[in-house]
Amino acid sequence: MEVHELSERRACKLAELDRSTFQYEKQAGDDAVMRERLRALAATRRGEPGPLCLSYARAPLSGP
């Protein structure tokens, strides 16, 4: 943006990009356990869609 002397608003409009997307900063988080659960579920439930596996992975680990 500095090279072309454009404001952030104008540059995002030209690129057809929401400013909130441009300003997004990833939240730090340790999701290693969730990733492992998703991989295990994906391996055992081959035909199920991703969102369904994600809901299973978010479920509590133990009992009722």
- Residue 64's pLDDT is what? 44
- Residue 59's pLDDT is what? 74
Instruction: Give the pLDDT confidence of 1-43 residue by residue, as tens digits.
Output: 667 788 999 999 999 999 999 999 888 777 788 788 878 877 8
DSSP the chain: -TTTT--HHHHHHHTT--HHHHH--PPP---HHHHHHHHHHHHH-TTS-HHHHHHHHHS-SS--
Question: Could you tell me the residue ranges of all domains in the chain?
Answer: 8-58
